Amino acid sequence: MRVDRARSALLLTAVGLAAIATAGPITFVALVVPQVCLRLVGSARPPLLASTVYGALLLRTSDVIARTMLPVELPVGIITAILVAPYLIWLLVRGNRTAGA
């Protein structure tokens, strides 16, 4: 069995299931923002106040990009997913590497 191929398939499946479970890209922020704040603050648990502020900032930034910076107005969920998904994938890959070692 090819481990790298199986690992990649499992990673894509995990990201897809997380996206489905959160019922859309905007609530997808709830998965990533606490992880970002956890690393920024450096605490043992995700900080609630910082998570709400950064979550609101991320959604507002996505909304501004979706409405003004693109030639066609896109739904805010698409821009949010474009901004957030790479970080979540990176977290999953990094976690997978450390768990396998």
Average pLDDT over residues 23-39: 78
Mean pLDDT confidence for 71-94: 83
Compute the distance between CA of residue 95 and CA of residue 89 in angstroms, rounded to an integer.
10
Is the per-residue pLDDT at 21 higher than 80? no
Tell me how far apart the alpha carbons of residues 87 and 100 are, in angstroms, rounded to a whole number: 20
Contacts of 19 (CB under 8 A, 6+ apart): 25, 28, 81, 85
**pLDDT of amino acid 23:** 59
pTM across the whole model: 0.64
Q: Is the pLDDT of residue 55 over 70?
A: yes
- For the segment 35-63, the average pLDDT, to the nearest whole number, is 87
User: Does the pLDDT value for residue 101 go beyond 60?
Assistant: no
